[in-house]
Amino acid sequence: MLARSAVRAALTNSRSFSSSAARQTKVAVLGAGGGIGQPLSLLLKTNPLVTSLSLYDIRGAPGVAADVSHVDTASEVNGYPADQLDQALEGVEVVVIPAGVPRKPGMTRDDLFNTNASIVRDLAAAVARVSPQAHVLIISNPVNSTVPIVASVLEKAGVFDPRRLFGVTTLDVVRARRFLAGVTNNHPKDTGVTVVGGHSGKTIVPLLSQTAYGKGLDQETWSKLVYRIQFGGDEVVKAKDGAGSATLSMAYAGAKFTDALLRGLKGEKGVVTPTFVKSDLFADQGIDFFSSNVELGPNGVEKIHPLGPISAEEQKLLDECLPDLKKNIEKGKNFVAN
């Protein structure tokens, strides 16, 4: 009797051990000392799907790590200084990259290209070298170009898997949901919006006609709302008056997307969200990266959803998006090729 219950207990223990072991997930944040990196690290520390957090920056990551590590959740936290990038990447399954400079008033995201392109390229090279199996989430702007840069670097190193590279466009989705709730007087939980295209000005295309509260808007309200979703980032840049761009809402959005990916990786079904990935949707027009609804699963990208029915106005937005997006993507690819 006793022996049998002991065996049963041992089996139960080993089963629960192996199932929790299967969910061990080490997440790295590169740029963890910055305006986005710090609150993002804090939010990831509170995510039970993250078991180990690896914080890297050229400035200040050990301090952020020491601070965040006191939060009373189970995950362990380690901070790495500038010369320990490889150590920071060892064994990571997910790498989130908010490293780089943010905008100042009057700047577009493309104005950041010169500085951020090389930062992202060098970090991608380290990922290719140390953790080539990792899922890589790009926050650094201009996302329309930095994602193709990372893809090209990984491709050159022979380790590119398009299912594991994501441009984080979640802030556009978060803004669209919040702003639509505001103009229609509803709760944001009821005003989810699919946002497609890219992550910059006119390349951001919200598909309001696909939502219950977005499809009945009059023309003027619709136009103002679309503009606000496309250029909402400028409101923050202007209000911060030279001190940077969105950091807190972006950290929230980055943590939200990371959580969606982690849920997909551990096998949850039906995790679908827009993200900027290598995509066939407009590849026949020479645009091989595009954000649309993507189902996330154990391998990362499981399925890229088509846009679905869109209105004539949204078709116009898309027509304006595509040429800009194409240029941004080519600029990123050329940077690595040259």
Ligand X SMILES: NC(=O)c1ccc[n+]([C@@H]2O[C@H](COP(=O)([O-])OP(=O)(O)OC[C@H]3O[C@@H](n4cnc5c(N)ncnc54)[C@H](O)[C@@H]3O)[C@@H](O)[C@H]2O)c1
Are 245 and 102 within 8 A, CB to CB? yes
By beta-carbon proximity to ligand X, the closer residue of 217 and 251 is 251
d(CA 182, CA 322): 29
102 near ligand X, rule: CB under 6 A: yes
Residue nearest to ligand X (CB): 34
End-to-end, the C-alpha distance of the chain in Å comes to 73
Output the known binding site for substrate.
Answer: 103, 109, 141, 175
The angle, 0 to 180 degrees and rounded to 10, between the axes of the packed helices 312-337 and 113-130 is 70
By beta-carbon proximity to ligand X, the closer residue of 58 and 159 is 58
HEC states along 265-318?
A: HCCCCCEEEEEEEEEEEEHHHCEEEEEEEEEEECCEEEEECCCCCCCHHHHHHH
Closest distance to ligand X from the beta carbon of 291 (Å): 11
Q: What CA–CA distances, in Å, run from 209 to 212, 215, 300?
A: 8, 4, 28
Vertex 306 angle, CA 169 and 150, to 5°: 40
Please identify, among the stretches 20-28, 53-61, 278-286, 309-317, the one whose residues bind ligand X according to the rule CB under 6 A: 53-61
Structure tokens at 313: 């106005």
Structure tokens at 48: 């039970």
Closest distance to ligand X from the beta carbon of 212 (Å): 26
What is the C-alpha radius of gyration for the chain, rounded to an integer number of angstroms? 21
Residues 156-175 that bind ligand X (CB under 6 A): 168, 171
At 224 the three-state DSSP class reads helix
Tell me, by CB under 6 A, how many residues bind ligand X: 32
Q: Report cis status (omega within 30 of 0) of the bond before 142.
A: yes
Displacement of CA 15 from its chain's centroid (Å): 33
Closest distance to ligand X from the beta carbon of 214 (Å): 21
- Of the residues 25, 75, 211, 247, which one makes contact with ligand X according to CB under 6 A: 247
Closest distance to ligand X from the beta carbon of 249 (Å): 8
d(CA 119, CA 163): 23
141 near ligand X, rule: CB under 6 A: yes
Closest distance to ligand X from the beta carbon of 111 (Å): 10
- Of the residues 116, 230, 258, 273, which one makes contact with ligand X according to CB under 6 A: 116
- Of the residues 98, 201, 274, 300, which one makes contact with ligand X according to CB under 6 A: 98
By beta-carbon proximity to ligand X, the closer residue of 225 and 253 is 253
At 62 the three-state DSSP class reads helix
Could you confirm whether 187 is annotated as catalytic?
A: no
Please identify, among the stretches 138-146, 205-213, 224-232, 315-323, the one whose residues bind ligand X according to the rule CB under 6 A: 138-146
- Of the residues 47, 62, 81, 101, which one makes contact with ligand X according to CB under 6 A: 101
Nearest to 229 by CA among 260, 206, 249: 206
- Of the residues 54, 75, 131, 140, which one makes contact with ligand X according to CB under 6 A: 140
The bridge status of strand 204-206 relative to strand 195-197 is: antiparallel
197 near ligand X, rule: CB under 6 A: no
Binding map of ligand X across residues 199-238, x = CB under 6 A, - = no contact: x---------------------------------------
- Catalytic positions, please? 199
Residues forming the site for ligand X (CB under 6 A): 30-31, 33-37, 57-59, 98-103, 112, 116, 119, 123, 139-141, 143, 168, 171, 199, 244-247, 250
